[in-house]
Amino acid sequence: MIIGEILAGNARMYGDEIALVERDPDRGIRREITWREFDDMANRIANALIAKGINKGDKVIHLTVNCLEWLPVYFGILRTGAWAVPLNFRFLAEDIRYCAEIAEGKAIVFGEEFIDRIDGIRDELVTIRDFIFLGHPDKRPDYTEQFEGFIKTGSTDNPDIPIDLSDEAGLYFTSGTTGAPKPILLTHRNLEFACVIENRHHNQTHEDNFLCIPPLYHTGAKMHWFGNLIVGARAVILKGVRPEWILEAVSEEQATIVWLLVPWAQDILIAIEDGRVRLEDFKLDQWRLMHIGAQPVPPSLIKNWKKVFPGHEYDTNYGLSESTGPGCVHLGLENLHKVGAIGIPGFDWEYKIVDDNMDTVPRGEAGELAIKGPGIMKEYYKNPEATKEAIIDGWLLTGDMARCDEDGFIYLVDRKKDVVITGGENIFPVEIEDLLMENGKIQDAAVIGIPDERLGEIAAAVIQVKPGKEMTEEEVFQHCESLPGYKRPRQVFFDDIPRNPTGKIEKPKLRKRYSGVAESFKMT
């Protein structure tokens, strides 16, 4: 079923029930809309865009931070038959220009946070005819149309544009941390399948309430919410990641499902440990599921989480934008004994672990993870060579190195590009990072390769120490003594760990920062 039809069905069945809540604790703002209001707003946006000349197959750029209007704008674009093009809100002006040029966008909806970036490239956005401003009217650039006035021009009637599941739906750009952002083309069938697989994995019912914190432009957050969409269950969009804000939202909105990134889960545990938040101040009995995705999860984190929240179900979800987000591999609620693995193939997915010739490697050996299933993208848009390299005989090469244990559980070894080769030996940073995260003084850790004259590369550990704690280089070395000698970090740097909005460590930044640095130093 087209996801726009799922929304329309929710409006018919649950019209007066709350669909979305926005919480902005920093400004003390809470807003909400019902399913009928959600559906009506999507129709108004669609009809207003059609009146502007947006037709099926056109592209509309969507550049806003998380807010109550984000999803209605997304659904409104899809109902025109156009492609939604959500952009990373951290993109610089040049990234935005590049993506708009590739997409040949005809309209853009953007928030006030992006005024300076759009102002700087406006003359270069030659295909964009309409600039729609979603922000405070006093800040509206004179070349834009105010969002509230724009949607008033559209009817609440469904435009009923014929859309097939095979039609293109969205153009998603990779984060660009390893080069120029790549455009990933998804179909309506991809989006429908994301609804099915998320609900199949996490068993959402109409009574569930999903707390959404990660950015909605990313497939991960939105596709996890799709599991609620398909059963008409409400969701809360939280703007902010402070531990007390997360727990307050769970308590006051009675959230039952929370998807966290590793740093946020760590921050919650640290805040509880040092007494900044007290669990007895919150109503959390209804919280049934905490799940994590977007990056490798240290087993020590989940072990500590279960000590604090013993009643929680837990799942790890693995996916890529190229697989329409999370779920092509997942741990499964019943497999807590396998924490550390990313899991087993998700519903209706297949996998194999291959060498550079696409031959399956022996069980237990590391190779590149390849996946096959209904969520695989149509293509890298306008890039047939990259598509040919990524999809071979229906198998999507993920770029992630993995191994499989005797029970068929997949363990993520590392990104293929992040493997450190020292003296001819492969070192997989995730293995070292997991060990480092077992140390009670360490809040976050990253392992990178830095140049070495004799060995080519050596492993260096970047350590973010917990607030109020002190740590030395020697303590790090001692903690890693259980590793074979060639795997141990040879240098230590104490610094904050940069992560992108979806929680992935930005290792290119760290490699650039520490390339050529010869001495470690101490920081508390």
Question: Is residue 100 helix, strand or coil?
Answer: helix
Phi, psi torsion values for 239, nearest 5 degrees: -100, 100
Q: What does the pLDDT average to over 330-346?
A: 92
Torsion over CA: 101, 107, 112, 115 (sign): positive
CA distance 283 to 281: 7
Q: Which fold has domain 419-514?
A: GMP Synthetase; Chain A, domain 3 (3.30.300)
Output the CA torsion sign for 57, 37, 190, 343.
positive
pLDDT band at 505 (very low <50, low <70, confident <90, very high): confident
pLDDT at 263: 81
Query: How high is the pLDDT of residue 522?
Result: 37
Percent of the chain with pLDDT over 90: 74
Question: What pLDDT, on the 0 to 100 scale, is given for residue 502?
Answer: 63
pLDDT of residue 177: 44
Total Cβ atoms within 10 A of residue 26:
10
Out of 7-21, 84-98, 447-461, pick the least confident: 447-461
Structure confidence at residue 201 (pLDDT): 96
Report pLDDT digits (tens) over 255-284: 999 999 888 898 999 999 999 999 999 999
Q: For residue 95, which phi and psi values (nearest 5 degrees)?
A: -65, -45
Give the pLDDT confidence of 169-227 residue by residue, as tens digits: 999 998 654 457 889 999 999 999 999 999 999 999 999 999 999 999 988 889 999 99
What burial letters (b/e) apply to 64-92, b meaning 16+ CB within 10 Å?
bbbbbbbbbbbbbbbbbbbbbbbbbbebe
Q: How many angstroms separate the CA atoms of 164 and 112, rounded?
A: 34
SS3 307: helix
- Looking at residue 453, its pLDDT comes to 64
Q: In the predicted model, what is the mean pLDDT of residues 298-321?
A: 92
Q: pLDDT at position 178, please?
A: 45
* Higher-scoring residue by pLDDT: 415, 372: 372
**Backbone φ and ψ of 488, nearest 5°:** -75, 140
Which tens digit of pLDDT belongs to each residue from 447-460?
Answer: 988 887 666 678 89
Q: Stretch 406-425: mean pLDDT, rounded?
A: 78
Q: What CA–CA distance (Å, rounded) separates 168 from 324?
A: 13
Asked if residues 138 and 26 have their Cβ atoms less than 8 Å apart, the reply is no
Q: Looking at the predicted structure, is the pLDDT value of residue 418 above 90? A: no
- Mean of per-residue pLDDT scores for the chain: 91
Q: Which of 157, 162, 131, 144 is nearest to 41 (CA)?
A: 157
Provide the residue type at 105 as one letter: G
Residue 487 is predicted with a pLDDT of 83
Q: What's the farthest any 2 CA atoms get from each other in the chain?
A: 70
pLDDT of res. 90: 82
| DSSP H/E element including 466 | none
Cα-based distances in Å from 122 to 115, 118, 255, 498:
10, 6, 41, 30
Residue 516 has pLDDT above 80, yes or no: no
pLDDT digits (tens, 9 = 90+) for 487-496: 889 889 999 9
Mean pLDDT on 394-399 = 94
pLDDT at 175: 66
Q: Give the helix/strand (H/E) hosting 237.
A: strand 234-238
The tens digit of pLDDT for each residue in 130-183 reads: 999 999 999 999 999 999 999 999 999 999 999 999 999 999 998 654 457 889
- Under CATH, domain 3-18+26-189 is a member of which superfamily? ANL, N-terminal domain (3.40.50.12780)
The residues spanned by each domain of the chain are 3-18+26-189, 419-514
